[in-house]
Structure 1
Amino acid sequence: MSNSVPNVFLLNLLIGESMPGAITCTMNLGVTPKTRTVQGRSVVFQAVNPPLHVESAVTGKYNYLCTNTSCHIMIVVSGYTENERGSLKNFEARILLEDNWESGTANYSFLRDGEWVKMSNQKVRAIENSEINDLGKLAEAANN
């Protein structure tokens, strides 16, 4: 059995409640342990009329936060979208995960109609994503 750390691994997260009409965020991240960086995409959506859909290419870093009794993982990302004037920041998040990368809480903000909307103390859980289930599909999604 090898104790080597993978070069990159895929992390799919669901942030918020999966309830009808609720604002929800999905994040698909490629995590690079050697540099403690993350890169991928986020999608904030809400099934209302008109629908909310804010997609961003995200990059950031993570660090371990440890006390005498536990460790957590803090991920900090910024997200950008392209428009006719260039790159525009439209998303940012701070995610605190358990040390198994499976659950936690997040605070995030996104740009909606020129105003920043803040979502605080949102539940986070790792999910399987049938659309993005490997790093190649994440690269394709992030480049579109």
Structure 2
Amino acid sequence: MPTIPRIGLFPARYTVGTGLPGAPTLTLGLLIDTPRRTVIGGASITQAVNPPLDFHADTWGSFSYMALMPPVETPILMTLQGNTGGPESNSITTFRLHLVLNGDWHAGVANYSYLIDGRWQDISNVPAKLDLEFVPLEPGPVIPGDPHGGPTPLYGVSIQHAVATGDLAHMKTLATFAQQQLDSREGIKAGLSALNEEIARLEAAR
């Protein structure tokens, strides 16, 4: 099973929910800065109720390693909050999350709350799972993909929200992260080329 880089900057998408009919599903699109141990991104919650739930928030926060005695794997605690517009906006907090992940970042358990129609809704002890097909080997570009139906960039929606709010500090933060992703493109191309060459060599040796 592929692992997630423990250094640098990488995007990740998590699905949080039981998968049961009528239960809410939280989707987190995150950019994780491991040197600074900070996290920024977006959260969306959907639920097949009447009327349907469609909740969105810009999120930010941090993560830490929860030290345990060996040989227990060190879990990761991610703490996020969110609103409309980001940390520098004047919007009230509408989202809170505590997510405990396994040391490989692949799965965990979440508790989260969201404010809807003036009331907080609390969701406890629900499984969280990393979308492995979404996470690239290294941070990928945030420029728009194929206009005919390619993958949606991780920060496309967040960038649009930041521009709409006019929050200068939030826009600068996203611009920094986006530039770091764009700067990594040549490294990704070189790595992919080497990977394809090794795949071809191994297949030819069979």
TM-score computed with the length of structure 1 as normaliser: 0.86
State the Cα distance separating 1:89 from its structure 2 match. 1.2
Does the residue aligned with 1:141 lie in a helix, a strand or coil? helix
Higher helix share: 2
Number of the residue aligned with 1:66: 67
**Gaps spanning 5+ residues in structure 2: where?**
143-152, 161-206
State the Cα distance separating 1:80 from its structure 2 match. 0.6
Number of the residue aligned with 1:140: 156
1:97 aligns with 2:92: no
Cα RMSD for the two superposed structures: 2.1
Equivalences for 1:20-31 in 2 at 5 Å? 20-31=21-32
Higher strand share: 1
State the Cα distance separating 1:135 from its structure 2 match. 5.5
**Gaps spanning 5+ residues in structure 1: where?**
none
Superposed CA offset, 1:28-75 (max 9, x none):
100000100000000011022211011000000000002112200000
One-letter amino acid of the structure 2 residue matched with residue 141 of structure 1: V
Aligned-partner Cα distance in 2 for 1:52–1:138: 22
Number of the residue aligned with 1:77: 80
Number of the residue aligned with 1:117: 121
Number of the residue aligned with 1:8: 9
Equivalences for 1:30-49 in 2 at 5 Å? 30-49=31-50
Contact kept? 1:73, 1:99, Cα under 8 Å: yes
Aligned-partner Cα distance in 2 for 1:100–1:5: 9
Aligned-partner Cα distance in 2 for 1:53–1:75: 23
TM-score computed with the length of structure 2 as normaliser: 0.62
- Which aligned segments of 4 or more residues in structure 1 are displaced greater than 4 angstroms? 132-135
Aligned-partner Cα distance in 1 for 2:118–2:17: 22
Identity %: 29
Contact kept? 1:12, 1:129, Cα under 8 Å: no
Contact kept? 1:15, 1:25, Cα under 8 Å: yes
Number of the residue aligned with 2:131: 127
One-letter amino acid of the structure 1 residue matched with residue 16 of structure 2: I
One-letter amino acid of the structure 2 residue matched with residue 87 of structure 1: S
State the Cα distance separating 1:113 from its structure 2 match. 0.6
One-letter amino acid of the structure 2 residue matched with residue 88 of structure 1: I
Superposed CA offset, 1:98-133 (max 9, x none):
000001101000001100000000111101476x97
State the Cα distance separating 1:88 from its structure 2 match. 2.5
Contact kept? 1:95, 1:105, Cα under 8 Å: yes
Number of the residue aligned with 1:108: 112
Superposed CA offset, 1:75-108 (max 9, x none):
00001115xx952311010000000000110100
Q: Which entry has the higher C-alpha Rg, 1 or 2?
A: 2
State the Cα distance separating 1:22 from its structure 2 match. 1.0
State the Cα distance separating 1:5 from its structure 2 match. 5.4
